[in-house]
Amino acid sequence: MSSMEDDFSDYTLGVVGCGTMGVAILSGIHDHIASSDSSKVKSLPSKFIATVASEESAKSLVQTFDKDLGAGAVDVAWGNGSNVDLARKADMILLCCKPQVASVILTDPAMQEALSGKCVVSICAGVTIRQLLEFTVQHAYIIRAMPNTPCRIREGMTVISPSYNTPKHFVTLTQNIFSTLGRCRRLDERHLDAVTALSGSGPAFGCVVLEAFADGGVMMGLPRDVATELAAQSLQGAARMVLETKQHPAAIKDGVTTPGGCTIAGLLTMEDGKIRSTLARTIQEAAKVAKSLGGS
C-alpha cells in the first residue's frame, strides 16, 4: 500500500463479479493511464484482479482483457476461494455482483477476515451502507457507488457515498477511478435511491424518448437511420448545453421557442400528453423499486 496519500500507483484493485460495469471501469482506468503523464498515473491503481462465477465467464473475460487492455493487464480467477484470495491481495475491492448476492459473498468468515482494513466499494443497487457494514462485521470501510451504463463510453455519471469512518484517501481514490468514466460527485446516502432511478435507470428512459422522437421523424418521411441520428444528436447536444453553459433547461427551451412557431406547437402537444408528470413519476416509481432491491 502506498505511503503517500495521493499516490495510489502501487495499489491493487480487485473487482468481484466482473461483468459489463466491471469491464467498463477497468477499461476506463487503463485508457486514462495510457493517455496520461506519470504524475496523473499516480492517482490510480496499477494492478488489477477480477473474479467471475464460472470458468466460461473467466475465459471470456481473459479474451476481453487481452484484446482491450493488453495481455496480462488483469488477473482473472473463478471458483471456490477466488473472492477471498482477491480480497487478501487487493487494497480496494469493487463489488459488482447482483444485490441479492452481496450478503452471500461478504458474510463468508474468511472473506470478513480478508477484508479487515480494506475498502469495499459497492455498486449493488439498494444495498445500504448499514447492511454492508453488518455483512463485513465492520472489518472493512464501505463506499456505495452508483455508476450508469454510459460509463462504457466515458460519458458516465457516478455518485458515491462513503461510510462515516472511511478514510479520506479511499474516498479520493474512488473519485479518481470513477472520474475516468465521466462525471463523479459525492452525496449523502439518503439520495442514492433517487440517483439509482435518475442516472442509473435514466439512460433507459431517455432511450424511450429518443426512440419516440425518431418514430415521429419516420412518420414524417425520414429514413429510420437518419431519424435516429438526428434524435440522438439533438438530445446529446441539448444535454451538453445544460452541462457546459450551466443554463436552466427551460432557458435553453425558450431560446428555441419563437412566437407562433413549430416548437411551441410541439411543446403544447407534449403538455397535452402530460409528459412532464409522466416522466417525473417514472423516476419516482423507479426510486421506490431501487429502495427495495437490497431488502432493506
Q: What is the C-alpha to C-alpha distance for residues 43 and 33, in angstroms, rounded to an integer?
A: 9
Residues 199, 146 contacting (CB under 8 angstroms): yes
31, 43, 130, 184, 260 from 39: Cα distances, Å: 15, 8, 36, 21, 56
Query: Annotated binding residue at 83?
Result: yes
Residues 177, 44 contacting (CB under 8 angstroms): yes
Q: What is the C-alpha to C-alpha distance for residues 123 and 92, in angstroms, rounded to an integer?
A: 13
SS3 48: strand
Q: What is the C-alpha to C-alpha distance for residues 128 and 8, in angstroms, rounded to an integer?
A: 27
The vertex-21 CA angle with 182 and 200, nearest 5°, equals 65
Binding residues: 83
Binding residues for NADPH: 83
